[in-house]
Amino acid sequence: MATLQPTEVLRGQIIAPNLASRQFKANPYPFYARLRAEAPFYRTTLPDRQVAWLVSRYEDVLMVLKDERFAKDRFATMTPEQHAKMPWMPGLLKPLAHNMLDQDGANHTRLRTLVHKAFTPRLIERLRERTQAVCDALLNAAQPNRRIDLIHEYALPLPVTIISELLGVPPQDRHKFQAWSKRIVSSSSSSDLLLALPAIWLFIRYLRGLFKLRRADPQDDLITALVQAEEAGDVLSEDELLGMVFLLLVAGHETTVNLIGSGTLALLQNPEQLDLLRQNPTLIKPAIEELLRYTSPVDIATERFAREDITIGEVTIPRGEQVLAVLGSANRDERQFTNPDILDITREPNKHLAFGHGIHFCLGAPLARLEGQIAVNTLLQRMPKLRLTGTEQALRWRKGVFLRGLEQLPLAFA
């Protein structure tokens, strides 16, 4: 008897896959197409046993990202009954909730303003030479072997180096937070979270120690600036400082790793597009925008919660319930994009939602774009006859609900 796949029908119902599984992340797009066609607001149960509504069409995703009825602070939306049913949260995690992603209104604006100046396009452009130097150094190291694991030897160390230098994390400590970050973002269930607690504890302990160092010995880096803002009074609390730096370190590299890794794989799978970009490196800006759309490094935007009962068409989302805007689906919506499953590095217009939209639009978008443009162009120009070693079926995708990226990408080159 044939095994039913996630997108098949059982008694008229769409079968929900495990959104966090490696198998699903390898190719989520048939399931998303099914949702767009038949259930654009789809209520499901996540691996952590929380109920969530998956929103899959472009216009609906855009609405959820912009509409103030969908809040980030879940505790401001829930009924007493919903509060009572909330899963237990270790006290260790509570400081990390004091970050921009989990705040609305004035609180969000205050926190975002503190770091916004460090991520303006003009200031990010100053990092161009440094980003190019890091790319060249990483490829120089791989050159003698004519082989490279693109994730661990290129896509990961590049953004880790840049965000670490920006924040002020010493070079000898960067491998630590890479490992901690990987463990934390792959958690998709209560058991995963419990297993990740040691990594979270080590991460928090490390950051508190780094803050102590910067108070005693200020440096020209972002952590020093944030520590001084915290010392100034009510601008930033200790928990907000912790949540802010934790978010910047994790978000400051995870998305870019996926963009470079999945984007390179997409080009290898579409050799005519790879050749076009190699022959016309000035196309790199629209190429990166298309790779962002096509691969959606953030597959699902972080949670929103209904402030009230919200009726959209024939569907009512009850107050307090979780809503997930599926960016990977919106970016493949045939209502918005012509031939959305085709990679076209000259695509115009390309109003993708890879960085979100509205007040929570990704603060690091200019940095991710710069790193992606330099990393991909440098790789293609320096590594001719780039090819995958092994089969596409053997590639392992990372577990987790929100991000979509590869564990490894083994390549050979001439």
Contact between 127 and 119 under an 8 Å Cβ cutoff? The reply is: no
From the number of C-beta atoms within 10 Å of its C-beta (0-12, 13-18, 19+), residue 26 rates as middle
Which residue would you say has higher pLDDT here, 49 or 297? 297
Tokens of 272: 């005519």
Q: What is the pLDDT of residue 10?
A: 35
Q: What is the pLDDT of residues 32-44, one digit of tens each?
A: 999 999 999 999 9
User: Which residues does residue 91 pair with via DSSP β-bridges, in sequence order?
Assistant: none
Q: What is the pLDDT of residue 186?
A: 67
Angle of CA points 12, 14, 18, to nearest 5°: 150
Query: DSSP class of residue 194?
Result: H
Angle of CA points 148, 150, 153, to nearest 5°: 75
Percent of the chain with pLDDT over 70: 92
C-alpha span between 350 and 55 (Å, rounded)? 20
Give residue for tokens 């452009």: 125
Residue 181: pLDDT over 90: no
Alpha-carbon distances of 401 from 45, 246, 302, 335, 393, rounded to whole Å: 12, 19, 9, 25, 21
Alpha-carbon distances of 281 from 256, 278, 376, 377, 386, rounded to whole Å: 20, 6, 10, 6, 16
Q: What is the pLDDT of residue 309?
A: 96
Q: What is the pLDDT of residue 187?
A: 66
Which residue would you say has higher pLDDT here, 244 or 294? 294
Residue 389: pLDDT over 90: yes
Half-sphere exposure of 161 (CA within 13 A, CB side): 17
| Structural domain boundaries in the chain | 9-412
C-alpha span between 231 and 410 (Å, rounded)? 46
Give residue for tokens 């007040």: 359
Q: What is the pLDDT of residue 188?
A: 57
Highest mean pLDDT among 96-110, 220-234, 245-259, 379-393: 379-393
Q: What is the pLDDT of residue 87?
A: 63
Other C-beta atoms within 10 Å of 102: how many?
Answer: 20
Q: What is the pLDDT of residues 182-236, one digit of tens each?
A: 777 766 566 676 777 888 889 899 999 999 999 999 999 999 999 988 776 667 8
Q: What is the pLDDT of residue 324?
A: 98
Query: DSSP class of residue 44?
Result: E
Residue 249: pLDDT over 90: no
C-alpha span between 16 and 414 (Å, rounded)? 43
Contact between 412 and 147 under an 8 Å Cβ cutoff? The reply is: yes
Stretch 60-86: mean pLDDT: 86
Stretch 332-354: mean pLDDT: 98
Q: What is the pLDDT of residue 117?
A: 81
Angle of CA points 270, 276, 280, to nearest 5°: 150
Contact between 201 and 92 under an 8 Å Cβ cutoff? The reply is: yes
Residue 151: pLDDT over 50: yes
User: Which residues does residue 55 pair with via DSSP β-bridges, in sequence order?
Assistant: 41, 325
Q: What is the pLDDT of residue 8?
A: 37
- Beta strands (DSSP E) in 203-326 are 304-306, 310-312, 315-317, 322-325
Q: Which of 376, 406, 412, 402 is nearest to 394 (CA)?
A: 406
What mean pLDDT value characterizes the chain? 90
Looking at residue 222, its amino acid is L
Q: What is the pLDDT of residues 351-378, one digit of tens each?
A: 999 999 999 999 999 999 999 999 999 9
From the number of C-beta atoms within 10 Å of its C-beta (0-12, 13-18, 19+), residue 176 rates as middle
Q: What is the pLDDT of residue 89?
A: 63
Stretch 160-166: mean pLDDT: 93
Residue 135: pLDDT over 80: yes
Residue 83: pLDDT over 80: no
The pLDDT-based confidence of 88 (bands split at 50, 70, 90) is low
Give pTM, 2 decimals: 0.91
Residue 257: pLDDT over 80: yes
Contact between 118 and 367 under an 8 Å Cβ cutoff? The reply is: no
User: Which residues does residue 305 pair with via DSSP β-bridges, in sequence order?
Assistant: 71, 322
Q: What is the pLDDT of residue 3?
A: 31
Residue 281: pLDDT over 60: yes
Highest mean pLDDT among 97-111, 189-203, 274-288: 274-288
Q: Which CATH number applies to 9-412: 1.10.630.10, 1.10.1040.10, 3.30.420.40, 1.10.10.60? A: 1.10.630.10
Other C-beta atoms within 10 Å of 80: how many?
Answer: 6
Residue 6: pLDDT over 70: no
Contact between 180 and 202 under an 8 Å Cβ cutoff? The reply is: yes
Residue 302: pLDDT over 50: yes
Q: Radius of gyration of the chain from Cα atoms? A: 21
The pLDDT-based confidence of 50 (bands split at 50, 70, 90) is confident
Angle of CA points 395, 345, 373, to nearest 5°: 75
C-alpha span between 386 and 147 (Å, rounded)? 9
Q: What is the pLDDT of residue 190?
A: 62
C-alpha span between 390 and 383 (Å, rounded)? 18
